[in-house]
Amino acid sequence: MRNAHPSHWSWSASAFALAGIVLFIFATFGPPASSSGFVTTLKGFLEHLAPEYAASKAHYRAMPGPGSWLMAFVVGMAVGGFLAGRSTRIPVRDVPRIWERRFGPGRAKRYLATFVGGFLILFGARLAGGCTLGLFISGSTQLAVSGLYFGAVIFAVAMITARLVYGRLLREGYR
């Protein structure tokens, strides 16, 4: 087992902080969500580039455009990531260490993989009605069966997928 980065918070401190934020969001807005923020972002572009198309599609009509809580929330997450990254010694890499060990340092292969992965997480989230935050965390916090069901499926399938992607490292003794 590797040593933890000294800048990381423990799982318990992180959990208290996240629960506090989730409750703040329930109190001041409603159930937190982030995959919906992708719809809001696209709607903003499409309202300029192809307004008739955006108006004709139910998925865009169902979400607010820019100038909404959702848009501010996802932009805020990027700002939060930036501020957190500037104030720690956690190394920022373009190609994660475990990926480099399995597939080498080539950026193109990693970027293609994350583009495809990004496509799948959003396509799946929009089909299910939410993502890790908007369906699993928000839903389970409200004791929703949809959130518990989605959470069980995403954890199980991600664990199987990671074994298919990185399994050779494990067989070579990677820990």
**How far, in Å, CA of 84 to CA of 82, rounded?**
5
**How far, in Å, CA of 61 to CA of 84, rounded?**
34
Residue selected from 49, 55, 88, 104 as contacting another protein according to rule CB under 8 A: 88
Residue 26 CB-half CA count within 13 A = 13
DSSP 3-state of 145? helix
Residue selected from 49, 51, 55, 97 as contacting another protein according to rule CB under 8 A: 97
Is residue 117 a contact partner of residue 110, using CB atoms and an 8 Å limit?
A: no
List the interface residues with another protein, window 3-22 (CB under 8 A): 3-5, 7-9, 11-12, 14-19, 21-22
Q: Which residue, 47 or 132, has its beta carbon nearer to another protein? A: 132
**What secondary structure letter does DSSP report for 33?**
-
Closest Cα to residue 85, out of 19, 7, 2? 7
List the interface residues with another protein, window 100-129 (CB under 8 A): 107, 110-129
Min dist. Cβ of residue 149 to another protein (A)? 6
List the interface residues with another protein, window 136-165 (CB under 8 A): 136-137, 139-150, 152-165
Residue selected from 51, 55, 168, 170 as contacting another protein according to rule CB under 8 A: 170
Q: Which residue, 52 or 143, has its beta carbon nearer to another protein? A: 143
List the interface residues with another protein, window 27-86 (CB under 8 A): 27-32, 34-35, 37-39, 41-42, 57-60, 67-85
Both tokens of 36, joined, read: 């919906």
Number of residues that bind another protein (CB under 8 A): 126
**How far, in Å, CA of 17 to CA of 128, rounded?**
27
